Structure 1
Amino acid sequence: MKDYIALAAKGDHEWWRYLVGAFLIFIIWQAGTIPFIGVVSYKLAMEGRDLSSLSNYETLMGTLDSNLTFFLMLLSFAIGFLGIWLIVKFFHNQKFKDVLTTRVKFDWKRVLLGFSIVGFFIAVMTIIDFVLNPDDFLWNLKWDQFLILAAIGIIMVPIQTTFEEIYFRGYLMQGLGIVFRNRWLPLIATSVGFGLLHLGNPEVTKLGYVIMISYIGTGFLLGVMALMDEGLELSIGFHAGNNLITALLVTADWTAFQTESILIYTAEPSIGFDVLIPVLIIYPIYLLIMAKVYNWKNWKSRLFGKVELL
């Protein structure tokens, strides 16, 4: 099987290109927040409110209709997706497919499997929690708002999650692997970096830094998927399933996505050993399922081996 990281050697892969490219992609991505900030600023101005409140997360989330807020938040990732395509194609002269997979064609069946595994688990666990603890939830289903949410989510959430997968498990993982000629350092760096990306999330403010175990652990899970499967299809599907099903099923006033979901979690959150259960138990089960389906072998060399350039 081809080495996914080594595919980057087919394009222009000097170390400085990845340094500059990663920075430019980030800037383009952040520029994508301008429409959101602009619309919120306009609304605040029309209401005669102080624009300095833009620095307040609750103001940003609560000024506009929740579906419009959801769309504008995700729009930045669509712009970031365009940015990463431009950088890969014109700055690195690399085929965009080569930042996605070693396979001849992008494997949509793998995407569906990754999506289904996590989507089914989240749906089942949410239903069980709702049945056992109904007082912790508010039934929020309003069909007119939910259908708009579903339309936005089905289109925009996969763009958001695919951008993040290509940026971290694709572009940065390939770049670090090419520069340092190994697979373990890109796995660690991109997983920790992915976790740190979520430091600004309201969940961290509410639950504390211990929640970073979950974010970084998820980064490792997605990174292992990419390296063992020599492509991003499984991680793209998994990430999309996690974010989309969660956004549709349940939200809370302290989560990054505050949507017109079916349920609103109203209980005061607490966190303890349960943050370790997904990372130490559920995630390994996911990997074992995928390893069985796709006959993964040579774990040591695929996760810790050297990168031999093409």
Structure 2
Amino acid sequence: MKSFFPANALSLLLAALALAGCQPHRTAAYQGYLEGEFVAIAAPLAGRLEQLAAPKGTRVTAGTELFRLEQGAELAALREAAERLRSAQARLTDLRKGQRPSELAALEARLTQVRTAAELSGLELARATKLRETAVLSDDDYDRVRLNHVTNTTLITEIAAQLVTAQLGARPDVVAAAEAEAAAAQAALDRAGWAVAQKSQSAPRAGLIADTLYRAGEFVAAGAPVVLLLPPENLKVRFFVPEAEFVAIKAGATVLVTLSGRPTPLEARVSYLSPQPEYTPPVLYNRENRSKLVFLVEATLADEVARDLHPGQPVDVTLP
């Protein structure tokens, strides 16, 4: 069969097809944006905002004071708790000591006196025993001397026990109760110190003060965020990939991020792949509807790069 194409036209068509095959393949660019995951800094206690140390737009380092609420009531409670602890510890120390030195000295003197009396009554009993053997001393007089010596000997045992008890201090159960009271006072002091510390909040990490939600003098409810902090590691690249190309992207893979005004793309690492599509048609997944599905992918940038970027910036993401 004779061809309907002129020879020169066929040559031009073949050349065009060959030229098209030699051109490099352009990688598709995925559209996305930068998003920040803000850290809301709040105090667990309520109070009037006394000082806002870091205004909006300030870059802070970890440990920098961000704001401070009024602390009058908490400081008063701290002083009260400290005095209660001092009182409980003094009472516990006193119970462990036993009686005062002057009381102990009186008991020791009384013990010496009773020992002397017992020694004297012992000599009298010895003489009375000899006299009774010779029938010079009556039985009544002998019994009187003997019982006096027994009384003095018993007093020695009694006062010696009193002296030992006075040196020991209070009973164990009383000391245990005082120890528990001192421990409770220490816990109250710790709680009061914690309350004072919570009225002043510092940056947990370095980052940018993205926003401040209160002004000095305003009342802040307990747990209400006062400062929004954006650490550089919390800035992420979010982009959307069609269903047909989603399987080619793996977690940990490197992607190139292009922003307006930057001559060279930035490298980012894929950190998250959405398990669900962003758009689901209300019909079965036929070939036509599957082409409409896109999946969310997140990637992270190096901290030194992310600190100069801002949430909301549009980006184009390509695979290297």
Shorter-chain TM-score: what band?
Answer: under 0.3
Per chain length, whose mean CA-contact separation is higher, i.e. which structure has more relative contact order (CA < 8 Å, sep 6+)?
2
Highest CA radius of gyration, 1 or 2? 2
Q: Which of the two has greater strand per residue?
A: 2
TM-score by length of 2: 0.21
